[in-house]
């Protein structure tokens, strides 16, 4: 298992800081359909002592998810990106299938100022405080419409991923509730992932095991890791406390999950892919909220992650100083 990290923003100083704390791989949060941006990101990572190993998100896919006119052009953008990733040697693409009709219609939260340990601000979701009756211009969508849209998308991109030797890692809905704003969200349960894999059994068709999302679902983390086994192509490391309708994100050492057991399970199934720290609480030394992506909080969580991994997976090779 190897640590990849997100830097927001992906500045030279942030990337160099990640390399200095022992991270060797970058997870690039790409939001472009321009292959040159990914080539430039790879070069920038390498200039700062990292290897670009994972792309997360990729080009716009709002029309793909809703099944609207123009989706074929977006699919071609995705296929172009996947082919370019193969040429660059980037083997993992993390994406999601949540309706992306506005900047907010993906990961839903009701607060980023809920207090965690010692008053650190963190994100939370309370269904009772969420305007879930809101009707968007997309109206109402159903599960079966979404399954049809997903099938259409995967039929097109799986052959491209196979040719490029790029693993597709579907991220769960966050929160895994449906409908939200009258729009169906289908990647919300273990059973629905099983349906996706049955529809398209190609080995490149896998998931991002976002530990927080599966906790939100109420899944048994140990049993679910074993259940998915080699379908896990990427891992998001975070912890949450509460229930699906009322939860908040915790520091990784302050939540309910037995982290040692979790990493032993990853070793048991032979997982050797990438893991990255996901949302973290905001520390007092941070000037403003990064909505879970503050670098100081990530430094703490990465250090904790390395400390968990080393006695189970062993010490990774050290890069020479430069």
- My answer on whether omega of the bond before 240 falls inside 30° of 0, hence cis, is no
pLDDT of residue 104: 60
Assess whether the previous peptide bond of 179 is cis (omega < 30° from 0). Answer: yes
Nearest to 56 by CA among 40, 39, 32, 76: 32
State the Cα–Cα distance between residues 63 and 73, nearest whole angstrom.
9
- Specify the DSSP element, H or E, that contains 228: helix 221-228
- Burial per residue of 62-81, b for 16 or more beta-carbon CB atoms within 10 angstroms, e otherwise: bbbbbeeeebeebbebbbeb
- Domain 2-313: which CATH class? alpha beta
Retrieve residue 308's tokens.
């968990």
- pLDDT averaged over 10-residue windows placed end to end, the chain, 322 residues: 95 97 95 94 98 95 95 97 97 95 79 96 96 93 98 98 98 96 97 98 98 96 97 98 97 95 96 96 86 92 96 69 45
pLDDT at 317 (0 to 100): 47
CA 116 to centroid of chain Cα atoms: 22
Q: Which pLDDT does position 235 carry in this prediction?
A: 98
d(CA 232, CA 266): 10
Q: Give the residue extent of every domain in the chain.
A: 2-313
Distance CA 256, CA 220 (A): 12
Q: Could you tell me if 249 and 240 are in contact, meaning their C-beta atoms sit under 8 angstroms apart?
A: yes
Q: Measure CA of the first residue to CA of the last residue in the chain; give whole Å.
A: 25
Confirm if 24 and 316 have CB atoms less than 8 A apart: yes
Model pLDDT, residue 288: 76
């Amino acid at each position: 298992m190897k640590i990849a990290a997100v830097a927001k923003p992906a500045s030279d100083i942030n990337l160099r800081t990640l390399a200095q704390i022992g991270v060797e791989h970058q997870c690039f949060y790409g939001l472009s359909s321009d292959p040159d941006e990914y080539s430039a990101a790879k070069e920038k990572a390498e200039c700062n002592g990292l290897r670009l190993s994972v792309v997360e998100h990729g080009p716009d896919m709002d029309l793909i998810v809703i099944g609207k006119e123009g989706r074929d052009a977006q699919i071609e953008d995705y296929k172009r990106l996947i082919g370019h990733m193969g040429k660059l040697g980037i083997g993992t693409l993390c994406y999601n299938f949540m309706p992306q009709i506005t900047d907010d219609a993906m990961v839903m939260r009701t607060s980023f100022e809920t207090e965690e340990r010692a008053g650190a601000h963190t994100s939370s979701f309370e269904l009772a405080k969420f305007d879930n009756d809101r009707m968007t211009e997309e109206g109402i969508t159903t599960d079966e419409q979404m399954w049809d849209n997903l099938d259409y998308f995967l039929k097109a991109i799986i052959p491209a991923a196979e040719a490029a030797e790029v693993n597709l890692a579907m991220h769960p809905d966050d929160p895994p509730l449906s409908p939200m704003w009258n729009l169906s969200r289908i990647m919300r349960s273990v059973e629905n992932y099983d349906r996706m894999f049955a529809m398209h059994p190609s080995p490149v068709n896998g998931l991002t095991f976002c530990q927080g999302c599966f906790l939100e679902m109420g899944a048994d983390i140990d049993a679910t890791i074993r259940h998915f086994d080699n379908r896990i192509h990427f891992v998001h490391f975070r912890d949450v406390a509460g229930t699906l309708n009322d939860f908040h994100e915790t520091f990784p050492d302050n939540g309910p999950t037995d982290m040692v057991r979790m990493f032993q399970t990853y070793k048991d199934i032979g997982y050797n892919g990438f893991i990255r720290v996901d949302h973290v609480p905001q520390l007092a030394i941070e000037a403003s909220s990064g909505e879970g992506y503050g670098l100081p909080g990530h430094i703490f969580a990465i250090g904790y992650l390395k400390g968990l991994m080393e006695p189970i997976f062993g010490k990774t090779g050290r890069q020479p100083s430069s």
